[in-house]
Structure 1
Amino acid sequence: MMDSLSPEVFWTPVWLSVKIAASAGIIVIILGTLVGRFMANKRFKGKAVVETILMLPIVLPPTVIGFLLLMVFGKTSWLGGMIEWLFQQQVIFTWVAAVIAATVVAFPLMYHAAKVGFQGDIQAAEEAASIDGAGRWQTLWFVSIPLAKHALLSGAILAVARSLGEFGATFMFAGNIPGKTQTIPTAIYIALYAGDMKLAWLWVLMIIALSFVMLLLVRRNDA
């Protein structure tokens, strides 16, 4: 029987959490930046409804998000059935499911930061670049993103931190499979339920330390 305090037992959920948070972070940074830039100065009918939907994961209980993901990607859904047919494997209770759950809950943080960062005086700089002959992607990469870099960096760090601490949606959608989908939050829950307080405390201290460092980076970036 493996020692519950062995390095392998302790570090496996830690590395898996970092891997999932990093993967979700990359997706969220790209999508959040693009959608935030699109929505920053757009005016169209129904914009308030669209933005409300984009920000909804912030206020929805994680269990509700997990339930909805199960409905969307489950065997009974057309999307879940198509994925299983294409890859001979369903999404739920996999590492990919954990990344999807983390992406959904973290997206609003990156989106909101990007939208705020791209508003204001940046529009004038973008128009000037366009007049000088810069294309849409050139303007985004060389003008918009550099001017909004502080807001984008803060949003990215907060999104990764949120991904790292995700529990409810991950637990429902990806499960708690050691070495496969067990992240630090789910590992803490299981350790506490099993009465292994030493291991639970070690994971608690680890995620507090990681979260502290990331929030400190946000504060330094905003200073």
Structure 2
Amino acid sequence: MNWDEWLPPVWLSLRVSIIASIIVAIIGMLVARFMSRHSFKGKSIVETFFMLPLVLPPTVVGFILLITLGRGSWIGKAYEWLFAQPIVFSWIAAVIAAVIVAFPLVYQTMKVGFLSVDRHLEDSARSAGASELQVLRYITLPLAKRSLTTAYLLGFARGLGEFGATLMIAGNIPGRTQTVPTAIYIAVETGEMGMAWAWTIAIISFSFVMLLFTGRKLEQ
């Protein structure tokens, strides 16, 4: 096995997953906190929209991202003007794809965690003079910690295994945008079964460890 060919997709997948999981954890926590504490007209429609990437085919998600972030879109043009390179077919695009597909899982898990927190405890802290930030820091987050941790780990694992949307928006450029899932696909297509097995074992090992850790968190 050629380590020079095997390592780059692994390192890129880990980098993409780490960055994407941090981003989606922050966004997911803010949105889940708001949605768990507020009711408004059309809330069910908004939440249904949030969950769409969970059920849509990855190619559909990738196509929408390609149209939204492509060089012909205003977002794509603004990004290219700022950074002198397009979003599509870059590792940043892989991060965006991972964030989008992981968000529903992270959001739903965090929302369940926030809903499990006794609101009377939060109200008692407010009546004692605590600010909203203090309530969040000392009451809500500690009590929802298990769900938040689980959500982060699930988001990391989901981002690590993302394939369809990543392939469409980031492509499969060796050394630049080739992640483990896309590398496996190309290896199978070209008959390089040894490399395909090596990458498969690597991603199964990472995913197994993450899910095992998640399961233990849920049992605690």
Normalising by structure 2, report the TM-score: 0.97
Any residues of structure 2 matched to 1:1-223 within 5 Å, and which?
5-223=1-219
RMSD: 1.0
Secondary structure at the residue paired with 2:186?
A: helix
Secondary structure at the residue paired with 2:88?
A: coil
In the alignment, the residues of structure 2 paired with residue 137 and residue 179 of structure 1 have an alpha-carbon distance, to the nearest angstrom, of 43
Give per-residue Cα distances to partners, 1:61-111, cap 9 Å, x unaligned.
Answer: 111111000111112111111111222211000010000000000011111
Give per-residue Cα distances to partners, 1:150-183, cap 9 Å, x unaligned.
Answer: 1111111111000000000000000011111100
In the alignment, the residues of structure 1 paired with residue 116 and residue 161 of structure 2 have an alpha-carbon distance, to the nearest angstrom, of 32
Structure 1 residue runs of 5 or longer lacking an equivalent are none
Give per-residue Cα distances to partners, 1:134-163, cap 9 Å, x unaligned.
Answer: 222221122111100111111111110000
* Count of matched residue positions in the alignment of Structure 1 and Structure 2: 219
In the alignment, the residues of structure 2 paired with residue 219 and residue 56 of structure 1 have an alpha-carbon distance, to the nearest angstrom, of 25
Residues 117 and 144 in structure 2, CA contact (< 8 A), matched pair in contact too: no
Name which of structure 1's ranges 119-128 and 203-212 shifts more when overlaid on structure 2: 119-128
In the alignment, the residues of structure 2 paired with residue 15 and residue 88 of structure 1 have an alpha-carbon distance, to the nearest angstrom, of 25
Secondary structure at the residue paired with 1:175?
A: coil
Secondary structure at the residue paired with 2:115?
A: coil
Give per-residue Cα distances to partners, 1:14-42, cap 9 Å, x unaligned.
Answer: 11100000000000110111111111132
Deviating 4+ runs (over 3 angstroms)? none
Normalising by structure 1, report the TM-score: 0.96
Secondary structure at the residue paired with 1:118?
A: helix
Name which of structure 1's ranges 22-31 and 123-132 shifts more when overlaid on structure 2: 123-132
Structure 2 residue runs of 5 or longer lacking an equivalent are none
* C-alpha deviation, 1:128, in angstroms: 1.4
In the alignment, the residues of structure 1 paired with residue 79 and residue 202 of structure 2 have an alpha-carbon distance, to the nearest angstrom, of 35
